Amino acid sequence: MLSERRLEVLRAIVQDYVGTEEPVGSKALTERHNLKVSPATVRNDMAALEDEGYIAQPHTSAGRIPTDKGYRLFVDKLAGVKPLSSPERRAIQNFLDGAVDLDDVVGRTVRLLAQLTRQVAVVQYPSLTRSTVRHVELLGLAPARLMLVLITDTGRVEQRLIDCPAPIGETVLADLRARLNSRVVGQRFTEVPSLVQDLPEAFDADDRATISTVLATLLETLVEETEERLMIGGTANLTRFGHDFPLTIRPVLEALEEQVVLLKLLGEAKDSGMTVRIGHENQHEGLSSTSVVSVGYGSGDEAVAKLGVVGPTRMDYPGTMGAVRAVARYVGQILAES
Amino acid sequence: MLSERRLEVLRAIVQDYVGTEEPVGSKALTERHNLKVSPATVRNDMAALEDEGYIAQPHTSAGRIPTDKGYRLFVDKLAGVKPLSSPERRAIQNFLDGAVDLDDVVGRTVRLLAQLTRQVAVVQYPSLTRSTVRHVELLGLAPARLMLVLITDTGRVEQRLIDCPAPIGETVLADLRARLNSRVVGQRFTEVPSLVQDLPEAFDADDRATISTVLATLLETLVEETEERLMIGGTANLTRFGHDFPLTIRPVLEALEEQVVLLKLLGEAKDSGMTVRIGHENQHEGLSSTSVVSVGYGSGDEAVAKLGVVGPTRMDYPGTMGAVRAVARYVGQILAES
DNA sequence: GCTTGGCACTCCGGCATGCAGAGTGCCAGG
DNA sequence: CCTGGCACTCTGCATGCCGGAGTGCCAAGC
């Protein structure tokens, strides 16, 4: 186990390195933090920390920089979450309050988070797996052409065109609409299939094929839209990444464009509480020099989606975590209101 | 006026520079293109071209690179549009054919365009200004709470929550729904306001306030959604931009995040035919070293939106223009089918 | 046994020098 | 008007040098 002072030294190294972006040496450390020991002592501690794998030197006779393991220890044991200032809190609230619909909420959130953390922000749309159906609408566009509209309790609307095997009458359609709604409104997506299974039986044989088609499309939409979408922003902040640009930034941009990658990333995070994945802890190769701070958010106590930021492993963890947590809370509130 | 050969020299310079990214000298020119004159002659021509402002040298005794004006001349007079190969065409068609809804079409288009051109792609959602209403739906969620759903002929769906000043009965609602649809379905957005203006008069005084609220929300949605949205992709291609990274890429990323900027950019382009804006021709400062190639696309003969790519002024114009044009055509086809 | 000051060593970064290569401009001759 | 030749300029690269910062280790001190 590391002694108290050595932990203190590690904390100091992380803080300084995050601030200056340069390897930090023993002398500078003793000057900037009032450790009450001499540089030589600190050097011994640093050697020990290096043996344990918490820090490393880029080259012999350079200062030390934290390793992923070092950051991990820092985040777990040494750093708290820095709360936002109250002006910041007010700004968040004001900014989010202006949103008019779900797209707008997500858009504003992503911009806000990017600004606050000065990093790349990722916000997942509220997931539909735990959502319930608010309304199903069927519109006859042409004799054998329908549009299915699905409205969820999170305010999301999805539509699908349906080509029917046979024309369907307006009254049958109204009937179907009514029955459908009486069965599924307020129900969770996962419940829907079993609830509508026997619906065709209530109708004339002529219409059953069409009705089956409609139901199939509905189920398909439910499944398909369970795949989550997300929005990202603040990519310009990547330019503040480091000195060795193209090599670092390229894979990150590529990863960010692959929504699948990001969804997996967020998916791996814990459902509740904040998750910090540091450097190589992220499976994806392109993100091995980035950290991801993410947290679930939701309208109630249950998290319906996640949001977070992607930044260099050398980031201000307490500040970032504070911002992420605060934003998630306010978004949750906004969603609960609407 | 420039002589035939000087134009030829300019073309050669542009082509070589685009290929090599390095200033091109007189000797290399005569070798790689079979100009039938000596380097010395080319030097004279180059001096003339430089006087006219078509090319410039980064430093004394370096080769020449084209200026914005040089690219302009190249695009206008010297370069054609390079058609895609037929495998490429088939790939486009196949890829776009798999799309399931509008979001998917736009998403696929943007990825496709980014891949084909290896640059940043921008695709505007079909504009609603020229769109017509396919259906308006009103759903009672609670006694004094409605949801308005607007479906357009381009397949877009927009929804708004409405808090009514007074509860409204289900029959009144149905009546309103029917009247509303009979008036506005098939009409252009711009026509709607005058068509619904006198609707409240047909109802009881009790309900008029609510109905006015509904209509106001509808009009608001029409106006608001006329503001176009867009999708971008391929930002990772920015890393192939040039050597002087952070300075160049940063403002571009920032510009790309500001949808307003991009919309303005596309808006400035001609409604029909391809538009190429080179370097400083783009008003936006951050884009002064980029070119934008854009073209309108639409389901019929009328363009309903634009798409294009953003890349370095040093780009393969014929190839890029070919890809942009081809993609626009296929997207138009896809939209026409659905 | 931990801490400390001292000392030799290493390595990076910046700076000046030198040199080859590529390119230009200009001139005089065909 | 084209061409070959020539002197000149500038970049890019390799080399060498030096100062600074930092380390590791050792022996002395608390």
Q: How far is A58 from chain B (nearest CA, A)?
A: 23
CA of A243 to C1' of C16 (A): 26
Question: Percent of chain A beyond pLDDT 90?
Answer: 46
Mean pLDDT of chain A: 88
Residue A245 pLDDT more than 70? no
The CATH architecture of the domain made up of B4-78 is Orthogonal Bundle (1.10)
Q: Which residue of B has its CA nearest to A160?
A: B101
| Of B225 and A303, more confident | A303
Which of residues 37 to 76 on B have a Cβ less than 7 angstroms from any strand C atom? 39-40, 43, 46-47, 50, 57, 60-64
Question: For position B136, what pLDDT does the model report?
Answer: 87
Question: Which residues in range 52-81 of chain B are in contact with strand D, contact meaning CB within 7 A of any of its atoms?
Answer: 59-62
Q: How far is A182 from chain B (nearest CA, A)?
A: 13
Assigned CATH for A129-225 = 3.30.390.60
Average pLDDT over residues B239-246: 69
Query: Residue B226 and residue A16: Cα distance in Å, rounded?
Result: 50
Residue B227: predicted pLDDT: 63
The predicted-structure confidence for A126-147, as pLDDT tens digits, reads as follows 876 677 888 888 877 777 888 8
Q: Is there contact between B31 and strand C, defined as CB under 7 Å from any strand atom?
A: no
pLDDT at A69: 97
One fold for A86-126+228-337 and A129-225: no
Q: What is the pLDDT of residue A242?
A: 67
Domain ranges of chain B: 4-78, 86-126+228-337, 129-225
Nearest DNA or RNA nucleotide to B29 (CA to C1'):
C23
Residue of A nearest to B234 (CA): A257
How far is A302 from chain B, CA to nearest CA, in Å? 23
Q: What is the pLDDT of residue A1?
A: 61
Asked if CATH classification 3.40.50.970 holds for the domain at A86-126+228-337, the reply, yes or no, is: no
Longest alpha-carbon distance in chain B? 91
Mutate to test the interface with A, among B105, B134, B147 (most CBs of A within 10 A): B147
Average pLDDT over residues B104-133: 89
pTM: 0.81
Among A258, A310, A234, smallest CA distance to B253 is for A234
Supply A198's token pair: 């026997």
pLDDT at A338: 63
Over chain B, what is the mean pLDDT?
A: 88
Nucleic strand C near CB of residue B26 (< 7 Å) = yes
Chain A residues near residue B254 by CB distance under 8 angstroms: 236
A157 touches chain B (CB under 8 A): yes
Residues A65-76 have a mean pLDDT of: 97
Q: What distances in angstroms separate CA B63 from CA A285, B25, B53, B174, one per listed residue?
A: 40, 4, 15, 75
Nearest nucleotide to B40 (CA to C1') is D3
Spacing of C-alpha B64 from chain mean position: 32
Measure in Å the smallest separation between the Cα of B34 and chain A Cα atoms: 36
Hey, is the C-beta of B174 within 8 angstroms of any chain A C-beta?
no
Structure tokens at A331: 């978004």
Q: How would residue A259 be classed by pLDDT, with cut points 50, 70 and 90? A: confident
Per the CB < 8 A criterion, the answer to whether B321 and B293 are in contact is yes
**Cβ within 8 Å, pair B159-A151:** yes
pLDDT in tens, B168-177: 888 888 889 8
pLDDT, residue A129, reads: 64
Half-sphere exposure of A81 (CA within 13 A, CB side): 14
B326 vs B152, more confident: B326
- Residues B273-311: tens digit of each pLDDT: 899 999 999 989 889 999 999 999 987 767 778 999 999
Q: How would residue B128 be classed by pLDDT, with cut points 50, 70 and 90?
A: low
